[in-house]
Amino acid sequence: MTSVSAIGIHDLSFATSEFVLPHTALADHNGTEIGKYHLGIGQQSMSITAADEDIVTLGAAAAAPIIARHGTDQIRTVVFATESSIDQAKSAGVYVHSLLGLPSAARVVELKQACYGATAALQFAIGLVHRDPTQRVLVIASDVSKYELDSPGEATQGAAAVAMLVAADPALVRIEEPSGVFTADVMDFWRPNYRDAALVDGQESITAYLQAVEGSWKDYTEQGGRALDEFAAFCYHQPFTKMAYKAHTHLLNTCGYDTDKDAIARAIGQTTAYNAVVGNSYTAAVYLGLAALLDQADDLTDQAVAFLSYGSGSVAEFFAGTVVPGYREHLRTEANSEAIARRRPVDYAGYRELHEQTFPTDGGDHPTPEQTTGPFRLAGIRAHKRVYQVR
């Protein structure tokens, strides 16, 4: 077996939905001062899925550019992380495996732990590559964040998928040891099987998140991790972008540092650009933050980046990555900007109609209207089976 010294993120690509709802439209409907959204939670707009779009089509669209660049030969594992699963038994990743034409000699599995799942997928992928450095693992984080209309969480909705190719000698970010981990049994956010929309206790969720930041950082330091001032930037899970600011302020306070606003903005400001216009993408959010940071920062070569991944319920992990020399040659900055710019605005009435769209559960033939323009679409339901198309 070949020894390997560095494993991490070799490529990263993301996709988001066909439609977008500006928060100005939501504010007009609610009679809300727009500052509550733009400043209070730090959100500008939110991605809205079309009727023929779901976590599978988003995940496949995110992963397709990676397959186009690197091929399929070395990919023997696909790990699909989501908390908006479409089936209680079959992995959404199996559909993506088929849509992308991946070889049959592969394992595919779906992981779930609220918004933390993609970090579990990343760490499991690193373990597989350690065992066999000739293999690569495709990690996909794909979610559609959905809350009830006129609920407090409505303004934080969103949809996106991030795909990462995990490999030895990565071209983007080397993931370091150790990790700091934390778990606590709390009911801050959950979605029972009988509900399409999640339930959330907003204040409890913020409290639980901050507790998890403190707990995972404590474990990270006890495991011999880096000092706080060694990090050039911090990628936090972003249920809304203002939460990243709250989390970093709490971490600085915990460590006895001054909470200088300019320093906080330098540490996390560039990580929030995509999340601010996409909304909450659950498992994908922290890695959408990484994409924004890599695309915007002047030069992060050999700089350490911190990651804080949080999933309600709750599980958190704090870990570090080092940006690899030459990483800029492998970025997808233009494609990432296009993924956001191509979304078509909807008004509030159009958003409401999309939000309330559901499939009957009678097992009949229920085609979807063709609303998307991307490479993959959900064509409908037939005999209780989801049917997908490749354009």
Active site residues: 83, 115, 237
d(CA 156, CA 285): 12
What is d(CA 271, CA 292) in angstroms, rounded to the nearest whole number?
5
- Sheet containing strand 344-345, edge to edge, reads 45-48, 19-22, 344-345
Residue type, 387: V
Cβ atoms of residues 363 and 371 within 8 Å: no
Question: Which of 232, 243, 226, 231 is closest to 309 using CA atoms?
Answer: 243
- Cα–chain-centroid distance for residue 153? 18
Helix axes 55-70, 92-99, angle to 10 degrees: 40
Q: Write down how long the chain is.
A: 391
DSSP reduced 3-state for 81: strand
Between the alpha carbon of residue 10 and those of residues 168, 223, 247, 255, 378, the distances in Å are 8, 26, 28, 32, 29
Concatenate the DSSP letters of all residues of 140-181 into one string: EEEEEE---TTSTTGGG-EEEEEEEEEEES-SSEEEPS--EE
Give the closest residue to 333 by CA, choosing from 14, 71, 16. 14
